């Protein structure tokens, strides 16, 4: 997946990246875990982290949310089993659910990446590399954050950078997502913009494990880091992996 003309730093010089594959995680639990890891990363107790997981059906509102973009009322959300959370990330409203790969990078951007705009563009670059690995052309849209294809938006990005330049929140890539749930919101506040998934683009289901592998490779290339040789697979009795 290496980009033409790019030369990644030697492995010995790359910052380590601990990858955790967490399965299905309630959104509130994901927030708590991120908060803990941000503190540990700031204190230098853990290396950079990449959390890869799925959430049960949930609508999250970023700091820039227009509440008129929430289309499903309380009754409809209850009937469909959709939780509602106010999130500390940037951006507008979005949906998470099974079949969508959510990535939470907990990275220390010091000393040479202390640039929020660059960080957002780097996340987009990594996701475009993932799509390329599946033969899909991904692109940016001028003035917006995320990744689009000819059939619609396939990945949303919303991040937070805490004191000490430690990142949290991240990206959501639609893999085998039930796209009907996006009718509950105006996705990312963008009206008249279609949403799509890898499954829809490829015309067949996609293995979540395979997508996670490509995401790890793309993050390593884009950020010049060294993922741990054996990614940790975690989770309790309710955890699962999409096939």
Q: How far is CA 132 from CA 74, 111, 122, 126, 174, in A?
A: 39, 30, 15, 10, 15
Give me the active site residues, please. 188
What's phi and psi for 124, nearest 5 deg?
Answer: -60, -45
Cis preceding linkage at 111, omega within 30: yes
Helix/strand/coil percent split, the chain, to 5: 30, 30, 40
Enter the tokens of residue 95.
Answer: 């949906």
């Amino acid at each position: 997946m290496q980009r033409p003309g790019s030369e990644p730093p030697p492995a010995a010089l790359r910052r380590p990246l601990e990858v955790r594959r967490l399965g299905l995680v309630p959104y509130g639990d994901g927030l708590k875990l991120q908060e803990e890891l941000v503190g540990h990363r700031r204190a230098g107790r853990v290396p950079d982290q990449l959390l890869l997981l799925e959430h049960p059906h949930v609508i999250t509102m970023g700091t820039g949310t227009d509440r008129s973009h929430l289309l499903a009322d309380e009754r409809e959300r209850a009937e469909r089993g959709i939780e509602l959370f106010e999130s500390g990330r940037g951006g507008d409203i979005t949906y998470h659910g099974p079949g969508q790969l959510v990535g939470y990078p907990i990275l220390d951007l010091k000393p040479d990446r202390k640039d929020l705009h660059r960080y957002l563009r780097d996340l987009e670059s990594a996701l475009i590399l993932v799509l390329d690995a599946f033969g899909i052309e991904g692109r940016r849209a001028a003035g917006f954050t995320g990744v689009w294809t000819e059939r619609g938006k396939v990945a949303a990005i919303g991040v937070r950078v805490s004191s000490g330049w430690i990142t949290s929140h991240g990206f959501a890539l639609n893999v085998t997502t039930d796209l009907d749930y996006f009718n509950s919101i105006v996705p990312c506040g963008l009206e008249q913009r279609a949403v799509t998934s890898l499954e829809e683009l490829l015309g067949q289901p996609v293995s979540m494990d395979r997508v996670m592998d490509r995401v790890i490779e793309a993050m390593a290339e884009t950020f010049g880091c060294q993922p741990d040789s054996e990614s940790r697979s975690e989770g309790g009795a309710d955890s699962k992996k999409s096939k």
